[in-house]
Amino acid sequence: MINVLVNDLPTTTINVTMSMAGGVLGAMFGGWLVNKKPDPLTTGNGAIAGMVSICAGAGFVHPGFAIVVGLVSGGIIPLVVKSLDKIGIDDTVGTCGVHCTAGAIGGISTGVMGLIRPAYHGVSCHIGVQTLGFIICIAYACLCAIIIFGGLKAVGLGRVSEEDETLGLDISEHMTPTYPEFISGGISGMKGY
């Protein structure tokens, strides 16, 4: 068992790096197509998307396949983030869109790789099984979110006060301004300072 892990470590490291690079390029080009310009946040999200998407198959896919998985997952991120904004989901830095979308692409692509190399280290993967697993994960996450956030809302803890929302949670909760250059008149006199 240890020999398998040690032998697969270089492959895993190369694949994560290649997929991350593909994600950066995909997000940059996707940003050009969707937003008419690339931007640093989208490009950074592309790197994360590349790493997330290769997790399922990092130890056994070919580095060329890792680049393709990264390109696809990074390339779709600008469209996903823009779509979430349009339907009113507040995902400020694209975290949910990046992880959910890239995770789905990575998991399903592992099934694709399973069809190309049906048995590797005794693992057999198929697109249908991977897709079913993704659907089950999304259903479970949604159910948990509904229970947790519904419970918080029911006991009055679903939102912060309007004053804290206007001031920003970085200051009202953490007493650290995230963007001090946007605060007129400084932060002295604010609660906690």
pLDDT tens column, 111-167: 777 656 655 555 555 778 888 888 999 999 999 999 999 999 999 888 888 888 888
Most confident of 2-11, 30-39, 140-149: 140-149
DSSP, collapsed to helix, strand or coil, labels residue 147 as helix
Residue 53 Cα to chain centre, angstroms: 9
Check residue 129 and give its pLDDT. Answer: 81
Nearest to 52 by CA among 99, 115, 116: 99
Task: Map out the domains of the chain as residue ranges.
Answer: 2-154, 160-193
Averaged confidence pLDDT in the chain: 83
Q: Confirm if 59 and 74 have CB atoms less than 8 A apart.
A: no
Residue 11 has pLDDT above 60, yes or no: yes
Measured distance CA(76)–CA(34) in Å, rounded: 9
- CATH for the 2-154 domain, from 1.10.3430.10, 3.40.50.970, 1.10.760.10, 3.90.1150.10: 1.10.3430.10
Provide the residue type at 59 as one letter: G
Q: What is the pLDDT of residue 185?
A: 55
